């Protein structure tokens, strides 16, 4: 927090830091809480290691619960048709369509291995074709992506 020594940090300094991020940097409450959380993690480690005494932290900022939004069928068709028009991003379209159809996270899709997909039991719908295309896109990668098609 500026030129302040770590062992001199107080609750008031952390409040000032929160105000700075909230109003000067115009960060959301969630982002501000995350940044203060990082500071708390570092300071807790320093307390545990005996470098400083325990630091009292102000309460987290109350975050408004946000409603989760889903793509409607029309929104999905519009997005995929737009991606279809982008000829140079054909692979991106296939990956995005897989993410939508499977309802998985990016990391889950990237860690997908052929042994997890029974292509014979996947109906030859758009989903089945996209999984096949996706797996073929990455067949040249090393483990776990190397497949013999």
Q: What percent of the chain has pLDDT over 70?
A: 72
pLDDT of residue 140: 44
Prediction pTM value? 0.47
Give the percent of the chain with pLDDT over 90: 30
Burial state string for 7-41 with b = 16 or more CB within 10 A and e = fewer than 16: eebeeeebeebbeebbeeeebeeeebbeebeebee
pLDDT tens digits, 27-70:
999 999 999 999 999 999 999 999 999 989 999 999 888 777 77
Contacts 24+ apart (CB under 8 A), 95-100: 95/134, 95/137, 97/126, 97/130, 98/127, 98/130, 98/131, 98/134, 100/71, 100/76
Both tokens of residue 145?
């992506």
What is the average pLDDT value for the chain, to the nearest integer?
77
Q: How far apart are CA 90 and CA 63, in angstroms?
A: 38
pLDDT in tens, 128-137: 455 555 555 5
Start-to-end CA distance of the chain, whole Å, equals 56
Q: For residue 141, what pLDDT band results from cuts at 50, 70 and 90?
A: very low
């Amino acid at each position: 927090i500026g030129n302040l020594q770590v062992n001199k940090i107080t609750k008031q300094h952390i409040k000032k830091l929160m105000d700075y991020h909230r109003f000067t940097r115009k960060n959301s409450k969630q982002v501000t809480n995350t940044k203060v959380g990082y500071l708390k993690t570092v300071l807790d480690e320093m307390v545990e290691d005996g470098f400083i005494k325990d630091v009292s932290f102000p309460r987290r900022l109350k975050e408004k619960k946000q409603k989760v939004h889903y793509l409607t069928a029309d929104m999905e068709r519009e997005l995929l048709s737009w991606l279809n028009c982008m000829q140079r991003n054909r692979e991106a379209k296939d990956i995005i369509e897989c993410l939508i159809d499977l309802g998985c996270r990016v990391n889950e899709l990237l860690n997908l291995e052929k042994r997890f997909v029974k292509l014979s039991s996947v109906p030859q719908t758009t989903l089945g074709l996209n999984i096949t295309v996706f797996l073929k896109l990455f067949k040249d990668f090393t483990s776990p992506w190397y497949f013999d098609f």
